[in-house]
Amino acid sequence: MTIEISKSKNKYILILILICIFTCKLVNKVHANSTKDKGFNVLVLNSYHQGHIWETSIFNGLLSYIEKNNEEDINFNVEYLDFRNNYDNKYVKSLKSMLNEKYTKGSIDAIYTVDDEAYDVFSSEVLNKNSNFYKLPIIFSGVDNKATGMKEEKSYMAGIYHGDDSLNLINLIYDLNPNMKNINLIIEDSKYGNSVKYEIDRLIKTYLKEKVNIRYIKGNYIEDITSQLKKIKNSDNTVNIIAGEFQSISSKTYKSPKYTVDEIKKYSNAPIYSNDQTYMNAGIVGGHIDIGKELGEIACEMLVKLRKGVSIEDIKNTTEPIAKAYVDYKSIYKYNINPFFVDKDVNVMNKEIFEFLIPIWMKWLILIMVMVIIIVILVIIKIVTKRRKIKEKELEEKQKALEREKLKSDFIVNLSHELRTPINIILGTTRVLECSANKEINSDYLLEKIENINKNSYRLLKISNNIIDITKAESGMFKLKLEKCNIVSVIENIFESSLYFAKRKNIKMIFDTKEEEINTAIDVFQIQRVILNLISNAIKFTYENGNINLSMWTEAENIIIEVEDDGEGIPSDKLNYIFYRFYQVENLYTRKNEGSGIGLCIVKEIVEIHGGKIEIESEVNKGSKFRVYLPLNLEKDIPDYESLSIIDNTQTVNLEMSDI
């Protein structure tokens, strides 16, 4: 009865596992080729759970080899044997019989055992006549080369032996921590954990016997590990080595590597190392880089050979490629490890391109040196630019001085010409009068000669007045005599007085104002000079039968007076210069009109002393438009303007028009 019950219980478990494996098979079957019957079927036996990082990367290696070499007809049947959680005889036995049920004789062509647990369990199947896997070739990886087996058994197997990565890890750790006294070996409670323990133990005993003391921290749960770590008091000169994966008691799930490392860090301030690729970038100092994919590719190459008919006995065993050591850049500084201890072959992870693996003091030194160099460069740049600026300024000043010199000499030439012309005329006229002294002289003839003398004397007077005013303006001595007046009638008066001069050239002059009365304070005499200058220029540079318009109006707080002619105009490249002292557009020997080139300069000075401005628009052969802006000045304590007598006004007009 009892036997019956146990049998039915076993049957029940068997069915359950069968269902489970069958479901697994559906999920995990990977075809390199979709036609299962034609292909080469490989049973891939993973020792651990699905998602185990190391085994996943080995499997990726298989796939990558297939893809790279276009080996299309290989099918992978993947099984996860979960030996971490179950490894007793009962489980192993039922697992074998389940796999026998699942994979019928002839459905599998080769087996690939990914880690040593799977190898240990299935290597014996090759000589088991009752097994569906009887005499099937086995490719293995992760197996210790000391693993024993019967000679006959071994003739059905080939693969990749486990490398000496523990020795490499101890070398890396000892390089970086030459004062290491203690190792906390944190391992999972599994065959893998035990093999790491065995290896490290052996190495320390062989090479670092009295120097280093190992403390074993073993368990499958993080809580177990941390409670053991808590008990270790002195963690000076200690390093932690971690191997395996850990679950949490509460959730019974494998925790992420980062979580595990963070938990360990809470109870131990010693640097953490690991050869498990899982822990790369999880906050440990270093270890060896993932070679799972490389391993998978080597294993796949062996499987492909089998597929191509090479006998398993002709496939040579090999050893895992040596994994490259790596260190985490930031952790080196965090754990005060001397960066110079990092061998040049070691890969430095998480280092920015502009960062260097050198001691902190050296970084500071370099920083200071770089700063000093930058400062020196900046100072040099500043000195050079300053010198260049000084040179440029000197050059500019030299040029200005040359220009000034040229203007001066032009002025002297102009002036002597300007002076000589009226003086010659006056002298000529007086000589004529002298000669006619004893003759009877017609009064009209006499008046004409006297007017000639007057006009040329005015011309001389205008030149000397202008020179005095310019000198005064330059030294700030030009003072205004402000008077309140109706500026419209002042301008209109001046306009009327100049009609006579325009008429001589048959030029039509129009005065136009929008307002009859605009009261403001101005220096009447100086503003009259301004307007007369503009009108005299307009008459001078307008052809016979031309037109001159004088208009005025107020706009905002300004009085605007505009003198427009349709004369010869000014080239645009000369416009900027006409207000310069002694500047004339035409040169002395080709010009058609008289003048000293200081009229507009004085006009500008007078307008600006009044707080106004002058603008010009001109086009060659179309005419010119001068616009004077004077601010409305309504200050109270300014005396009223008393109109000058006509004679005085005529004198001013004659003076300003003397060079027409």
Best CA proximity match to 284, nearest among 314, 313, 327:
327
Is the distance from CB of 62 to CB of 44 less than 8 angstroms? yes
What's the CA gap between 553 and 265, in Å, rounded?
89
Could you tell me the smallest distance in angstroms from the CB atom of residue 404 to ligand ADP?
Answer: 17
How do strand 347-349 and strand 613-619 relate by DSSP bridges? Answer: unpaired
Kind plus residue range of the DSSP H or E element containing 26: helix 2-28
Q: What is the DSSP string of 356-382?
A: --S-HHHHHHHHHHHHHHHHHHHHHHH
Could you tell me the smallest distance in angstroms from the CB atom of residue 580 to ligand ADP?
Answer: 8
Q: Compare residues 257 and 623 and give the one whose CB is closer to ligand ADP.
A: 623
Q: Compare residues 179 and 621 and give the one whose CB is closer to ligand ADP.
A: 621
Two structure tokens written together for 406: 């040229």
Could you tell me the smallest distance in angstroms from the CB atom of residue 466 to ligand ADP?
Answer: 8
Burial 316-355 (b: 16+ CB within 10 A, else e): eebebeebebbbbbebbeebebebeebeeebebeeeeeee
Could you tell me the smallest distance in angstroms from the CB atom of residue 476 to ligand ADP?
Answer: 21
Q: Compare residues 528 and 537 and give the one whose CB is closer to ligand ADP.
A: 537
Q: Compare residues 188 and 564 and give the one whose CB is closer to ligand ADP.
A: 564
Q: Compare residues 116 and 418 and give the one whose CB is closer to ligand ADP.
A: 418
DSSP assigned state of 221: B
* Closest residue to ligand ADP in the complex (CB): 595
Burial 131-141 (b: 16+ CB within 10 A, else e): bbbeebbbbbb
Q: Compare residues 117 and 565 and give the one whose CB is closer to ligand ADP.
A: 565
Number of Cβ within a 10 Å radius of residue 112: 29
Q: Compare residues 98 and 655 and give the one whose CB is closer to ligand ADP.
A: 655
Is the distance from CB of 127 to CB of 57 less than 8 angstroms? no
Which amino acid is present at 189?
D
Could you tell me the smallest distance in angstroms from the CB atom of residue 539 to ligand ADP?
Answer: 9
Classify residue 390 as exposed, middle or buried by CB count within 10 Å of its CB (0-12, 13-18, 19+): exposed
Q: Compare residues 200 and 603 and give the one whose CB is closer to ligand ADP.
A: 603
Could you tell me the smallest distance in angstroms from the CB atom of residue 617 to ligand ADP?
Answer: 11
Could you tell me the smallest distance in angstroms from the CB atom of residue 520 to ligand ADP?
Answer: 25
Q: Compare residues 78 and 606 and give the one whose CB is closer to ligand ADP.
A: 606
Which amino acid is present at 191?
K
How do strand 29-31 and strand 40-46 relate by DSSP bridges? Answer: unpaired
Q: Compare residues 237 and 465 and give the one whose CB is closer to ligand ADP.
A: 465
Number of Cβ within a 10 Å radius of residue 60: 14
Place of tokens 């290491």: 180
Q: Compare residues 270 and 660 and give the one whose CB is closer to ligand ADP.
A: 660
Kind plus residue range of the DSSP H or E element containing 605: helix 599-609
Q: Compare residues 331 and 536 and give the one whose CB is closer to ligand ADP.
A: 536
Could you tell me the smallest distance in angstroms from the CB atom of residue 496 to ligand ADP?
Answer: 20
Place of tokens 């070499």: 69
Best CA proximity match to 13, nearest among 3, 21, 25, 24:
21
Phi, psi of 160 (to 5 degrees): -120, 120
Q: Compare residues 145 and 587 and give the one whose CB is closer to ligand ADP.
A: 587
Which amino acid is present at 542?
T
The dihedral sign for the CA sequence 157, 158, 163, 164: positive
What's the CA gap between 113 and 79, in Å, rounded?
10
Could you tell me the smallest distance in angstroms from the CB atom of residue 620 to ligand ADP?
Answer: 9
Residues in touch with ligand ADP (CB under 6 A): 533, 537-538, 541, 565, 567-570, 578, 583-586, 595-601, 624
Which amino acid is present at 129?
K
Could you tell me the smallest distance in angstroms from the CB atom of residue 421 to ligand ADP?
Answer: 13
DSSP assigned state of 106: T
CA angle centred on 545, ends 541 and 549, rounded to 5°: 65
Could you tell me the smallest distance in angstroms from the CB atom of residue 413 to ligand ADP?
Answer: 13
Q: Compare residues 483 and 594 and give the one whose CB is closer to ligand ADP.
A: 594
Could you tell me the smallest distance in angstroms from the CB atom of residue 565 to ligand ADP?
Answer: 5
Could you tell me the smallest distance in angstroms from the CB atom of residue 426 to ligand ADP?
Answer: 20
Could you tell me the smallest distance in angstroms from the CB atom of residue 525 to ligand ADP?
Answer: 18
Helices within 308-359 (DSSP H only): 329-334
The separation between CA 406 and the C-alpha centre of its own chain, rounded to angstroms, equals 51
Task: Tell me the CA distances in angstroms from 254 to 46, 53, 142, 258, 578, one per residue in order.
Answer: 17, 12, 22, 12, 92
Could you tell me the smallest distance in angstroms from the CB atom of residue 642 to ligand ADP?
Answer: 29
Could you tell me the smallest distance in angstroms from the CB atom of residue 578 to ligand ADP?
Answer: 4
The separation between CA 650 and the C-alpha centre of its own chain, rounded to angstroms, equals 73
The residues pairing with 156 across neighbouring beta strands, listed in sequence order, are: none
Could you tell me the smallest distance in angstroms from the CB atom of residue 601 to ligand ADP?
Answer: 6
Q: Compare residues 84 and 455 and give the one whose CB is closer to ligand ADP.
A: 455
Q: Compare residues 436 and 593 and give the one whose CB is closer to ligand ADP.
A: 593
Helices within 436-523 (DSSP H only): 443-474, 487-503
Burial 424-445 (b: 16+ CB within 10 A, else e): ebbeebeeebeeeeeeeeeeee
Q: Compare residues 75 and 584 and give the one whose CB is closer to ligand ADP.
A: 584
What's the CA gap between 610 and 612, in Å, rounded?
6
